[in-house]
Copies of this chain bind each other. A is one copy, B any other.
Amino acid sequence: MTERGRVTLSDVAAVAGVSLSTASRALNGGGRVSTATRSRIAEAARRLDFRPNALAQSFALGRSRTIGILAQNARGAFTEPVLVGAVAHLGSREQACLLYDTGFDPDTMAESVRRLLARRVDGLLVLGDGLRAGMRSVTAEFSVPVAYAFGLTDREGDSCYVPDSRMAGRLAGEHLLSLGRRRIAHITGDAADTAATGREQGLLAALADAGLPPAADTLRGDWSRAWGATACRRLIGSGARFDAVFCGNDQIALGVESVLRQSGRHVPDDVALVGVDNWEYVISGRSTRHLTTVDTGLAALGAAAAAQVADGREAPGTHAHPCTLVIGATTAGPQPEG
């Protein structure tokens, strides 16, 4: 025993003077074992520094302690945080994960599903690539829990986790209103993207609650800085008066800010600015944040979806994941730098 290898359960049993089965039952909490015997075995395990062979255990139990992850585009800017959040959470629950980056090809995806089944994964997390199109549901092909993050499926009742876009718009709107802004314009991205429409709805709802109309019709384009600049010029050119702009994402906000300054307007005194995505990272805590933005909480979203897969039993269905407001210089105080 303990020759030069590991301590096995039979070592523990021998030391405790019981049989393998009793030792197993004692350590797993199940079965009928007297308190005295149980503690004797526990003590022996502790003394020997017994660590169960996870491989054998998994095998005997038929559970792999592994969660499969199917990503349509793991390297996407938005999927990365979701993925990391999920993987980190799984780690904290002692679950390994096996990631297949399938792209959008149904055949590759089907093949990956077969591989995961062969590997006896304990659960499956499917990572979408945003809200553009519904994913094909694979829930029925698995007997283990399946959840979807950052995307919706074509099947009712699947556990889907998506950012709460309406909340993002509402948070931004309410923040601007709380600063006394009354003429709020909205510049956003792709109208086909439900993130854009959700954020817009949230903003409009906040404005409606305050009894205010938007300062101008929503300007829709793409998600780029260039579009933000173009749209801002158009907004200025239209003659509309506005004291705040809610931008569909941070890139747009940067473009807008740039044009505002060129036109002689001061940010945030003349025009306050809010983006979405919290793309600006802060390395040291000292530096102040430039852009006020809404953090969509993607990592937490990934963790929540992972929790559903690993631990189960949140109610199935679509979960809109909350977001948070992050205040920066573009809505607060004077803006001293850059």
Chain A interface residues (CB < 8 Å from chain B): 51-56, 58-59, 62, 64, 66, 69, 71, 74-75, 77, 80-81, 83-85, 87-88, 90-92, 94-101, 114-115, 117-120, 189-190, 222-230, 232, 251, 254-256, 258-259, 261-262, 279-284, 286-288, 290, 299, 336-338
Contacts and interface: CB of A to CB of B under 8 A. Distances in A.
Interface core residue of A64, A261, A283, A287 (most chain B CB under 10 Å): A283
A59 B55 contact: yes
Counting every copy of the chain, the complex holds: 2
B74 A88 contact: yes
A225 to B, nearest CB: 5
Contacts of A259: 338
Given A74-B88, A118-B54, A261-B261, A224 B99 contact: no
- Please provide the 9 A-B residue pairs with the shortest distance between their CB atoms, ordered closest to farther: A229-B338, A224-B287, A255-B338, A91-B99, A51-B118, A77-B281, A226-B337, A96-B98, A258-B338
30 contacts: A51-B118, A53-B120, A54-B120, A71-B88, A75-B84, A75-B299, A77-B281, A77-B283, A83-B84, A87-B97, A88-B101, A91-B100, A92-B101, A94-B98, A189-B283, A190-B284, A223-B284, A223-B287, A224-B282, A224-B284, A226-B290, A226-B336, A229-B337, A229-B338, A251-B280, A251-B281, A255-B338, A258-B338, A259-B338, A279-B279
Nearest to A53: B120
A225 B98 contact: no
A176 to B, nearest CB: 21
Contacts of A258: 258, 261, 338
Interface core residue of A64, A87, A258, A288 (most chain B CB under 10 Å): A87
A27 to B, nearest CB: 14
A71 B80 CA distance: 16
Contacts of A53: 118, 120
A337 B225 contact: yes
Contacts of A229: 337-338
Interface core residue of A100, A118, A232, A286 (most chain B CB under 10 Å): A118
